[in-house]
Structure 1
Amino acid sequence: MKKTSQMKKYIYAFVAIACLSFGQSCKKDSEFLDKQPTSTLSVEAIWKDPNLVLTVLGDLYDRYPDFQRIESWWLFADFDEGFASAGGDYFRHQNLEYGYDAWRYWDIEVYKLINNLNLFIKSGQEAAALKPADRDRFLAEARFIRAGVYFEMVKRMGGVPLITVPLEYDYSGNPGYLQYPRAKEAEIYDFVIAELEAVKTILPDDATEKSRATKAAALAMETRAALYAGSIAKYSNSQLSLPGGEVGISSTLANGYFTKALNAAKQIIDGGKYSLYQKNPNLSDNFAALFTDKGSNPEVIFAKDFKLKTNKVHGFTIDNQPRSSAEEAQGGRLNPSLNLVQSFEKLDNSYASLASVDAGGNPVYYTNITDIFAGRDARLAGTVILPGTQFKGKTVDIWAGYQLANGTIITGDNFGQMKDKVLPDNPASVQVVGKDGPVDGLEFSAQSGFYVRKYLDPATGSGQIGTRSDVWWIRYRYAEVLLNAAEAAFELGDLGAAAGYIKPVRDRAGLTTALTPAQITFDRIVHERKVEFAFEGQQLWDMKRWRLADKVWNGNNMSAADFTNATNIGSVTRTSTQVFGLWPYKYYNPGNANHLKYVFKVIKPSRVTAAHRFRIGNYYSSIAQDVLNGNPKIIRNPNQ
């Protein structure tokens, strides 16, 4: 039966409020996620009290879409950044092709969120009880969230129905007036950019606010969205377009988008309120701390926050802490790949394989297990826990066994195993594998030879089930603004400006020889984002917008030879379809000068059985059949 307008308001208020699960107070902006409502109120009553409006807004923020995120470690093993060292997730390395429905974001829940946002905006525009400044900020925040939802949709789906007013079915039996056609892909990007431009001066210009929309957050989303649109316009082709423009953006629009991306980035840079995080003189520790330090962090612009006191926490550290020193009997699930580790360049700005063998194919011997990683970009050890390094003050014990002089390997099949077998001329039982592995097929061991460090919480108790972690998930940070500006300037032909924007990011990583303007190439732009934003949820969208995904994840198998003395590490089209690892062994040859030194072997985990293939049809996710059936105005995406 038909619902009355008043009933609709009550239902909306109930849906928007009653589903919240936060704490006990929303007296301060910084605590706006901590309110637990206990009653259902009308929309009119809500819009008379800024605390109540903030509570409803908190629910809308909490529904802000992310794909890869700190709550779901396994999603970072879908491509080539990491190996999923968990039995139930080995399938991620056994899929030959990505499905056409992968990354789909177009269903009833998405448009329910959009409708809730449209209702919130309409109700706020009609409200007169609040102070105008309070009301305008709330409305600007809702428009910011709505822009974020449409941005998430367009980068997955292309053009979608653009709906900015609340919809209500009149139960007439004819839903035609609710059926919107798809907007052009460019129109969705234009809407996102225009909304962010409209609200940026209404939102507070407050660098201390991290979990609510600010002027800088709007500009950060604008520079990213405009950069995406410009890339799609420049690098797309006729295979990735539809006649009506629902998919594909004219190449003539590329420079206009790049100009908008650069201008938005420059407003943040020139504003002087944000800067790169540089609190720790140890550059690797400094980079790791950037993601966990929530006190006066000058780099973070917009983040999803978590709070121990309200039990709004996550288990990323429990799931991924080094297994040997874990606060619970679990961890080690996400193992960074050799593919990623080898991408971090040397401090002289050159690319090189990690030297496991010399030019003649002979093993290279290292006195210390960490020596093979010396002289590399500091972001490597800030992103990845390397063998022999520390977490929470404890040394991570990653080594795969003993290699004898004749090439025989003596190892174990469990963490830190003491085998009954003995080493030659040594009758005592000894530990023959690290307490963190690696052991092939043993879940939670460092099967790639590495553990993840980025976003691991160093606080005591963060690896315990009863405590967990409140480290935030950073959606926008200042380093991205600088790299967005560098990329946009490069695309506009200003190589000098591009070199200037990229320099402070590389300086922080210890790469003190600045790149000259002539050295700023597309390959350099791609590389810099790869190593700066690993495990931050940017890789897929970058590869898609540059139209590189089908070239890099091309379905071709790989071998160890691709990682020894490789010559194309910095190439944007370098194949990276299978996750490889690097295992350290202790060389056992008493009396030899290299006795008990370390040798390294490039390995492919046995659970990696197929090469990932990204097809042309994967650039835009397929539209579900029920959506097509329910709206005859919707046309399919190409190549599907």
Structure 2
Amino acid sequence: MKKLIINTMMLGLLLGAVSCKKYLDLEPTNAASDKLVWSRVDYAELAVNSFYHDFNYFGSFSSGQSSAGMTEGFTDMLKYSSMTYNANMYIPNEVAYGGPVLTANYVSVYLGGWETVYDKVRRVNEAISNLKKYGTSLAEADAVRLEGELRFFRAFLYFDLLKRYKEVIIYDEDLTKISKTATLSSEADGWNFVEQDLQFAGEHLPVSNNAMGRLTSGAAYGFMSRAMLYAKRWPAAQAAAEKVLDMNYSLTANYADAFKSGNSEAIIQYSYDKRVFTHSFDFYYSPGGDKEGSGAYGTPPQEMVESYELAGTGGFPDWSVWHNTSGTTETPPYEQLEPRFQASVLYNGATWKGRTIEAFVNGKDGYANWKTDAVPAGRTVTGYFLRKLLDENLDLNSDNSTQPWIALRLGEVLLNYAEACYQNGAADLANDAVRKIRTRVGLPYTDKAGDALMAQIRQERKVEMAYEGQYYWDMRRWELAQTAFTGTRVHGLKIEKNGSGQFVYTYVDCDQQDRNFPVKMYRIAIPVSEITNNTAISQFPEWN
């Protein structure tokens, strides 16, 4: 079994031992206790376990990608439901609209994370240093495996820094190099550092791991295929993806199953347990009918719905009849859309938890007018609700969410491979990868070349990995965000019943002002506090 399944029951119990002073809380900064921890493989593994929580922190169920909600809310993929009611709703809208609010301080707070990530980097480096200093009594296989895990996490953290800031301060396990006047590296040096750590991890982690939840070679190479796309190191991205494709992962037969626990596609899975550690994704994003007054913080807009093709035949339906601001009684072609739509979006009339979604005015799930209804209270402002990543079996009135976060899966690796192959001039391999993605959901595919092939890869990434925390960052690295998210608005369908009991679908503007992605947002501002404390660095020019 090659997938990484991080079980928080295991981690919670182990970390609980720390707070109960069973071993790790024995003055961990003291050299003697460091020696004790890193000289025994069982203790060393427990120490490394704490870093696995970073998969949760940087996932869509937590706030590591943005402290202002899902980054999809800055795009045409998700519309947050209020400009005044709750910071988790109005801040994503402020970011999407751009303008004077996007100061260096504002952006570093809501889209940065410099201080938090560097604190995590420091902890990883201390662990590597201690492993090398005190782990000499460990079996060589255990020592290099643990170093591989730690270097994976360091690369994971630096990837996050580089995709935001491009130029970062590089610290390794030589703790004597820590300085208040450390300089920024070049972007190339930053990616060198990430690539070297991931290469080491890929070479020294096991292909399969009998210990549930520990990192594998597939996790390292799979993540490397993602990181090297950002670095524009196409041969490295292709080679890393090929390593994974040669392993024993397989696409799930049903797209919706790719987000369930223990599936054949998952490469890194972070699991929760209601006795130890849960999350609240369903509370924030479920349709309002699931729990009165909650849910629908963000909902898919019409633009995202129109990104999905017709089932079976492929191609896009003509939505012009529903772009009618006076309304139409024609029923939208929801049931004719492909499986990824059915697994990702809840629409009026969809079946959910044994009931029918009522996304209309005064329906059980309800509709709220953008801005006019300042408190959405679980109602949609777009006519849709999110389905993907939600737990259909959860009773929100009694339980918190425990469905897993799939941090890396084969579907992404195939698309990473397709993009890398395209950039390397291997269109045949890129087409094959795209075909595999589409075949899984029953869509036909005709080989493409040149710009048409790259456009298809981008389209597949958008719908295949919708709401998985990638779209916003993809559009930034492609440098398409300024065009796609400037001078645009998102829309929805307001649904009402007429006197005859028919549904009337009215096309509505869900923004009522243009969106704006300024060029400076291609690189996040360095926090003012860092510039104040470190005289060797200055703010990026675009933020001055």
The answer on whether the counterparts of 1:93 and 1:609 sit within 8 Å (CA) in structure 2 is: no
User: Aligned residue for 1:420?
Assistant: none
- The Cα offsets for residues 487-532 of structure 1, whole Å up to 9 and x where unpaired, read as 1111222222111001121112221x22213485222121111111
Which sections of structure 1, spanning at least 5 residues, go unmatched?
A: 1-21, 170-174, 231-256, 279-285, 401-432, 557-576, 590-595
The whole-number CA distance in structure 1 between the counterparts of 2:213 and 2:507 is 42
User: Aligned residue for 2:250?
Assistant: 275
User: Aligned residue for 1:600?
Assistant: 505
Quick one: which of 155, 162, 167 aligns to 1:154?
162
- The Cα offsets for residues 114-162 of structure 1, whole Å up to 9 and x where unpaired, read as 2221111111112233333222222111110000111100110012111
The answer on whether the counterparts of 1:308 and 1:470 sit within 8 Å (CA) in structure 2 is: yes
Partner SS state of residue 162, structure 1? coil
The answer on whether the counterparts of 2:201 and 2:220 sit within 8 Å (CA) in structure 1 is: yes
| Amino acid paired to 1:132 | E
1:11-410 equivalences under 5 Å are: 35-39=17-21, 40-41=25-26, 42-63=33-54, 67=58, 69-72=60-63, 74-75=69-70, 76-85=72-81, 87-88=85-86, 89-90=89-90, 92-94=92-94, 95-97=97-99, 98-100=102-104, 101-102=107-108, 104-105=111-112, 107-126=114-133, 127-167=135-175, 178-206=180-208, 211-230=213-232, 257-271=233-247, 273-278=248-253, 286-291=254-259, 293-295=260-262, 297-310=263-276, 312-326=277-291, 329-347=293-311, 348-357=313-322, 365-366=329-330, 372-400=333-361
The whole-number CA distance in structure 2 between the counterparts of 1:498 and 1:600 is 40
Provide TM-score, normalisation by structure 1: 0.73
Partner SS state of residue 269, structure 2? strand
The whole-number CA distance in structure 2 between the counterparts of 1:330 and 1:361 is 29
- The Cα offsets for residues 72-96 of structure 1, whole Å up to 9 and x where unpaired, read as 5833423322122352124533543
Which sections of structure 2, spanning at least 5 residues, go unmatched?
A: 1-7, 27-32
Partner SS state of residue 489, structure 2? coil
Quick one: which of 441, 451, 458 aligns to 2:392?
458
The whole-number CA distance in structure 2 between the counterparts of 1:207 and 1:603 is 52
The answer on whether the counterparts of 1:69 and 1:537 sit within 8 Å (CA) in structure 2 is: yes
Give the 3 Å change call, closer, same or farther, for CA 33–506 of structure 1 in structure 2: farther
- The Cα offsets for residues 335-394 of structure 1, whole Å up to 9 and x where unpaired, read as 111111111123433234435349x9996644xx5x522332211111111111122222
The answer on whether the counterparts of 1:582 and 1:600 sit within 8 Å (CA) in structure 2 is: yes
The whole-number CA distance in structure 2 between the counterparts of 1:207 and 1:587 is 60
User: Aligned residue for 2:481?
Assistant: 549
- The Cα offsets for residues 31-58 of structure 1, whole Å up to 9 and x where unpaired, read as 7667554223310111233332223212
The answer on whether the counterparts of 2:152 and 2:220 sit within 8 Å (CA) in structure 1 is: yes
Give the 3 Å change call, closer, same or farther, for CA 38–260 of structure 1 in structure 2: same
Paired residue total: 504
The answer on whether the counterparts of 1:355 and 1:364 sit within 8 Å (CA) in structure 2 is: no
1:566-585 equivalences under 5 Å are: 577-585=488-496
Partner SS state of residue 128, structure 1? helix
The answer on whether the counterparts of 2:293 and 2:377 sit within 8 Å (CA) in structure 1 is: no
Residue identity (%): 26
User: In terms of Rg, which structure is larger?
Assistant: 1
Give the 3 Å change call, closer, same or farther, for CA 452–270 of structure 1 in structure 2: same
Give the 3 Å change call, closer, same or farther, for CA 380–64 of structure 1 in structure 2: closer
User: Aligned residue for 2:430?
Assistant: 498
User: Aligned residue for 1:419?
Assistant: none
User: Aligned residue for 2:526?
Assistant: 623
The answer to whether the aligner puts 1:517 opposite 2:448 as a matched pair is: yes
The answer on whether the counterparts of 2:295 and 2:377 sit within 8 Å (CA) in structure 1 is: no
The answer on whether the counterparts of 1:99 and 1:618 sit within 8 Å (CA) in structure 2 is: no
Give the 3 Å change call, closer, same or farther, for CA 534–62 of structure 1 in structure 2: same
User: Aligned residue for 2:30?
Assistant: none
The answer on whether the counterparts of 1:304 and 1:473 sit within 8 Å (CA) in structure 2 is: yes
Give the 3 Å change call, closer, same or farther, for CA 515–597 of structure 1 in structure 2: farther
The answer on whether the counterparts of 2:381 and 2:492 sit within 8 Å (CA) in structure 1 is: yes
| Amino acid paired to 2:447 | T
The answer on whether the counterparts of 1:355 and 1:372 sit within 8 Å (CA) in structure 2 is: no
- 1:212 Cα shift? 3.4
The whole-number CA distance in structure 1 between the counterparts of 2:265 and 2:210 is 10
Partner SS state of residue 201, structure 1? helix
Bigger mean CA deviation after superposition, 104-113 or 53-62: 104-113
Give the 3 Å change call, closer, same or farther, for CA 384–106 of structure 1 in structure 2: closer
